[in-house]
Structure 1
């Protein structure tokens, strides 16, 4: 009888832990605050500041404002780096964005797009994947010059609705 009571107690504790993690996973799958999260961007050991334009943040705002937005072409701080380095982009705030589109203004044919794993299908499983977030590495152009990067980033909610959208800009000169 003691064996069954012990097993039942362990089962109840296990279920409580799963419910707690699942609740955290649901909370983590919704964007928080009023402004888009700012990624950490580095080249080598130099941190690059980005200009952030929040196009919409939270599902209520995004549902009415996604069409007809304009991307700001604000001036950015220019960073001088050596060619041959790698650009590292990492979002530390949760939830991670779903889709990132990266363009370089001076190279019209250049376009990178990548996605983080969908987190809404299995919130508990994907919660652990988000905790193990690894940065994205981008090769830099080989030619010397100044390049302005634009990152259009999307956070999706349930049923693929947009709950966040932001544009990030930064400028780099390669020597």
Structure 2
């Protein structure tokens, strides 16, 4: 483990709600291509992070309601979900005891101010506008996880909410 990884791990551990020593990320997206892309980003970073996929927001919200299952360091939710909207997912997660303080990122290819504002109002901590290029998405994803401790501050700053690289 590199010094950088150890520093990142130690910065994240105080906010961890699970027992694993590895950074654990949950992804809710109905698109298999997105699952593969997120896994490829994690594999290329070689930081030993774990990724758990959920087919939709409803599955993710149901999992997070459990008080005995391991919790992630951060959750990524696709804004376009054919089964359960990101808004519904956020509301459901935020209504649970574990979900109130969980860092949640909404990601989309849309730059719509209305979608971003809705995500903010429903409880997202950060909004990632998905870049076209894989390298840019990977950098944005990594930055979101590495700076997730910012999302525990009181209040929300739009400069922090919209994350891009």
Whether TM exceeds 0.5 here: the answer is no
> Using CA pairs below 8 Å that are at least 6 residues apart, which structure has the higher relative contact order?
1
TM-score range, shorter chain: under 0.3
TM-score by length of 1: 0.25
Is the helix fraction higher in 1 or 2?
Answer: 2
| Superposition TM-score, scaled by structure 2 size | 0.26
